């Protein structure tokens, strides 16, 4: 019997489960760059470079360790797999279970279509790139009235003994989020991000990506929009170390802030590496805990970061596999507006959206508050289709995968699941954006105005959203205060807000005037 391992593009770890299951045997291994697979949607060019360069670097690492590595650049997966299986007389192909459901279905379809004639079975090995297995999350979730992340996070702290003093949280509190919402004032002088010059392998991938005649997102050239991401484990560890020792201490207070010219703030920038296996979440949270205990970094910074990884990241993965497979089709508010063109170009007079989308086009990355309170917030209050928005997020972000975006966008960002994940919609007016950023300075719109020619769209769309969905929002306990404010609004002002919202859609979307004015339930 000959065992071989197929390593997927987001499973690039020598400790990944399928490889580890083979012990010390240097078995045949295959990695495949599939051109058909990256045409499912218009992926960011920098994501294609990251994945393919990281795969090529990982293949070299495996060769140095003595593995017999086959590396294919081709259209699909089936043809090279069949040739590899026959050439190596493989009778059992092991694959670590993909994090994404669609890729799992792809494997099942290939197994049914091709493998009966190959005399080779597929052995799916449980994924070990997360702290919680899908079965462990299911055991935690079943029978609970509420699946709120905070309860899951506390259980994770206990389970993995992170920031614990016996059975109590270090410092006496589980969550220091209240200390992590400081308003930015002036220039913050944040430490720069940890970037890398592309080596010869990466330069070849960049040329390859730029030569492709396929639909993509984002920018990639030698002068501006250059590719600076790490592409192997050594570089990923450098980024983690840079964050822990240079950025983590200042991370907490301003983690929700957004500043032009200081786009990455004190954020870790490790999500692209975590999501392809170059880093493991346990080593990440243990490094942050060690920095708190040994270097006396502020607890609110250490806890705030650990909550993002041990809490939110693990929770999103677990919930993705716990909910039904049609979760992605949820549309609680029945929103159907198409995505505006400026989501693809960044060309809009709204400075916040222009800044965030421009940064995204250049790097494939913006931090979590830019995603939630600028991009998702705008999509929610304007009534964009959750399915179109989720697909766009998946296309645009360098760290985007099905398991990441389904729950983050459909659930948290757009409340399209009706509250399975969150306790209220994350809807906000321009007041929040002005409070937490400097985007409103110099913007074409007046962040203080709800009506009038210069009113900020975030304002009139926010109140229009509350008005359109008042009945549904009234069932969400945390919305009562703001709905009372809506009820106190003069009828004339509310009518003006409704008209502004409809007119804006007519002018900025591919809609008829009648369609833009008939969005109410």
Tell me the pLDDT tens digit for each residue of 243-285: 999 999 999 999 999 999 888 999 999 999 999 999 999 999 9
Phi and psi at residue 131, to the nearest 5°: -80, -40
Domain with CATH 3.40.50.620 in the chain: 3-125
Would you say 328 and 406 are in contact if contact means Cβ atoms under 8 Å apart? yes
Would you say 374 and 386 are in contact if contact means Cβ atoms under 8 Å apart? no
Kindly state which CATH superfamily the domain 328-517 is placed in: DNA Cyclobutane Dipyrimidine Photolyase, subunit A, domain 3 (1.10.579.10)
Domain with CATH 1.25.40.80 in the chain: 134-195+230-322
**pLDDT tens track for 54-79:** 999 999 999 999 999 999 999 999 99
**pLDDT tens track for 466-514:** 999 999 999 887 788 899 999 999 999 999 999 999 999 988 876 544 5
* pLDDT above 70 as % of the chain: 97
Query: What predicted TM-score, i.e. pTM, was given to this entire model?
Result: 0.95
C-alpha–C-alpha distance, residues 50 and 44, integer Å: 10
Domain with CATH 1.10.579.10 in the chain: 328-517
Report the CATH number of the 134-195+230-322 domain. 1.25.40.80
Lowest mean pLDDT among 27-36, 318-327, 350-359, 510-519: 510-519
Note the pLDDT of residue 67.
Answer: 96
pLDDT band at 163 (very low <50, low <70, confident <90, very high): very high
> Which residue has 């990241």 as its token pair?
313
Give mean pLDDT, residues 202-210. 97
**pLDDT tens track for 432-470:** 999 999 999 989 999 999 999 999 999 999 999 999 999
Kindly state which CATH superfamily the domain 3-125 is placed in: HUPs (3.40.50.620)
Is residue 93's pLDDT more than 50? Answer: yes
> Which residue has 């240079």 as its token pair?
246
> Which residue has 């919305």 as its token pair?
479
Give mean pLDDT, residues 338-362. 97
């Amino acid at each position: 019997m000959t065992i071989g391992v197929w390593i997927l593009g987001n499973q690039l770890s020598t400790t990944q489960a399928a490889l580890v299951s083979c012990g010390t045997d240097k078995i045949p291994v295959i990695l495949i760059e599939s051109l058909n697979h990256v045409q499912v949607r218009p992926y960011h060019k920098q994501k294609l470079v990251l994945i393919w360069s990281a795969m090529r670097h990982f293949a070299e690492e495996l060769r140095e360790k003595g593995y017999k590595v086959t590396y294919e650049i081709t259209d699909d997966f089936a043809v090279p797999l069949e040739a590899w299986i026959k050439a190596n007389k493989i009778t059992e192909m092991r694959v670590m279970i993909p994090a994404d459901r669609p890729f799992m279905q792809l494997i099942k379809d290939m197994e049914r279509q091709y493998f009966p004639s190959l005399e080779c079975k597929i052995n799916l090995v449980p994924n070990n790139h997360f702290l919680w297995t899908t079965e462990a999350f299911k055991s935690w979730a079943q029978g609970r009235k509420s699946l709120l992340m905070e309860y899951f996070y506390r259980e994770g702290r206990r389970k993995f003994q992170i920031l614990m003093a016996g059975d109590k949280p270090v410092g006496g509190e589980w969550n220091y989020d209240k200390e992590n919402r400081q308003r930015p004032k002036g220039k913050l002088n944040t430490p720069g991000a940890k970037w890398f010059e592309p080596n010869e392998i990466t330069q070849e991938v960049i040329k390859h990506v730029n030569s492709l005649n396929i639909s993509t997102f984002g920018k990639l050239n030698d002068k501006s929009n250059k590719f600076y991401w790490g592409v192997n484990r050594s570089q990923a560890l450098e980024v983690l170390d840079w964050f822990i020792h240079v950025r983590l201490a200042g991370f907490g207070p301003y983690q929700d802030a957004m500043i032009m010219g200081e786009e990455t703030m004190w954020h870790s920038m490790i999500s692209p590496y975590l999501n392809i296996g170059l880093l493991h979440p346990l080593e990440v949270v243990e490094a942050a805990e060690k920095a708190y205990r040994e270097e006396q970094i502020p607890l609110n910074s250490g806890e705030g970061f650990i909550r993002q990884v041990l809490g939110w990241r693990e929770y999103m993965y677990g919930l993705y596999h716990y909910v039904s497979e049609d979760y992605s089709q949820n549309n609680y508010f029945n929103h159907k507006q198409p995505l505006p063109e400026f989501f693809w170009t960044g060309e809009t007079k709204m400075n916040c959206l222009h800044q965030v989308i421009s940064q995204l086009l250049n790097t494939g990355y913006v931090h979590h508050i830019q995603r939630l309170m600028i991009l998702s917030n705008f999509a929610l209050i304007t009534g964009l289709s959750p399915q179109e928005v989720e697909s766009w997020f998946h296309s645009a972000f360098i760290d985007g995968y099905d398991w990441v975006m389904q729950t983050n966008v459909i659930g948290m960002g757009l409340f399209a699941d009706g509250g399975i994940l969150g306790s209220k919609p994350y809807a906000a007016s321009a007041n929040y954006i002005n409070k937490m950023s400097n985007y409103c300075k110099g913007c074409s719109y007046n962040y203080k105005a709800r009506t009038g020619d210069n009113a900020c769209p975030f304002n009139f769309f926010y109140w229009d959203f509350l008005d359109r969905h008042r009945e549904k929002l009234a069932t969400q306990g945390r919305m009562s205060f703001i709905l009372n404010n809506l009820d106190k609004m003069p009828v004339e002002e509310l009518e003006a807000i409704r008209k502004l919202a409809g007119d804006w859609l007519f002018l900025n979307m591919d809609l008829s005037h009648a369609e833009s004015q008939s969005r109410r339930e």
